[in-house]
Amino acid sequence: MAGNFITFEGPEGAGKTTVLGILQEELSKKGYDVVSTREPGGIDISEQIRSVILDKNNTKMDGRTEALLYAASRRQHLVEKVLPALEEDKIVLCDRFVDSSLAYQGYARGLGIDEVLSINEFAINGLMPSLTLFFDIQPEKGLTRIRKNDEREVNRLDLETLSFHQKVYEGYLTVANRFKGRFHIVNAENSLETVTKEAFEIIEKHLNKG
C-alpha cells in the first residue's frame, strides 16, 4: 500500500486536534498531498454512528456495544475515506484510530486489550498506521483544559469520572509500550508552538525515511 497513514492519539484535552489542523496546513505548504480526518466520524455513516456513541442520553450503552460501534464506524471510514486516499499516495492524518479503542474500551472499560484488538482486526483487515503520535498529558490537566473551553461540546465520554480518564492514560502507556515501533511520544503539556514543532519534526523524519 502506498501513501502514509499517520494517527494522532491521546487523552481528552491533549490538543491533538488543533495540532493536526496546523500540521495539515504546514505539510500542504511543503508540497505534500494531505488528507485530514477523524474518528469516530470523517464520513456520513461514521458521523451517524458517532452521534449514537457519544449521545449523553445513551447512558444504558453496554461496553461491548460501545466497542463494536467504534469498530463499525472505523471500518466504514477506512473503506470510504482512508483506503482510497492511501491508494492515491496521499498522507492521511487521522485524529484517533484503533489505539483509542484499546486504551478506552480495552483498558479503561476493562474489556481487555486483546479482546478489543481482535474485533478491530476484523474491522481493519490488516491496515495499521505506519506512525502514531501520542500526545502525552496528565488526565487532570487535559480535563481542566477542556472544561475551560466553552466552545467544545461535552460528550458522553467526557462525563466519565477522573478515575476512568486516569485508566485511559494508563491504557495508552500500555499500548504505546506494546507497539513501540510505531509510537512516538510528544509532551503535550508544552506550549502549542513547541508541541506542533515537535510533532512536525517527527512526521517529516518519518516521511523522509521513505
φ/ψ of 93, rounded to 5, equals: -100, 115
CB of 34 to ligand TMP, least distance (A): 19
CB of 158 to ligand TMP, least distance (A): 6
Which long-range contacts (C-beta less than 8 Å, at least 24 apart) are formed by 51-60?
53/156, 54/155, 54/156, 54/157, 55/156, 56/154, 56/155, 56/156, 56/159, 58/156, 59/156
CB of 190 to ligand TMP, least distance (A): 20
- Specify whether the CB–CB gap between 6 and 129 falls below 8 A: yes
Give Rg (Cα) of the chain.
16
Q: Among residues 44, 48, 119, 127, which one has the least CA distance to residue 83?
A: 127
CB of 31 to ligand TMP, least distance (A): 29
Chain position whose Cβ is nearest to ligand TMP: 104
Matching residue, cell 506550549: 191
CB of 157 to ligand TMP, least distance (A): 3
* CA separation for the pair 37, 60 (Å, rounded): 29
Q: Which residue's CB is nearer to ligand TMP, number 150 or number 208?
A: 150
Q: Which residue's CB is nearer to ligand TMP, number 90 or number 96?
A: 96
Which residues make up the interface to ligand TMP (CB under 6 A)? 12, 39-40, 70, 96, 100-101, 104-105, 157
CB of 163 to ligand TMP, least distance (A): 15
Matching residue, cell 472544561: 147
Q: Which residue's CB is nearer to ligand TMP, number 12 or number 136?
A: 12
Q: Which residue's CB is nearer to ligand TMP, number 86 or number 123?
A: 123
Q: Which residue's CB is nearer to ligand TMP, number 104 or number 134?
A: 104
**Three-class SS state of 147:** helix
Q: Which residue's CB is nearer to ligand TMP, number 32 or number 164?
A: 164
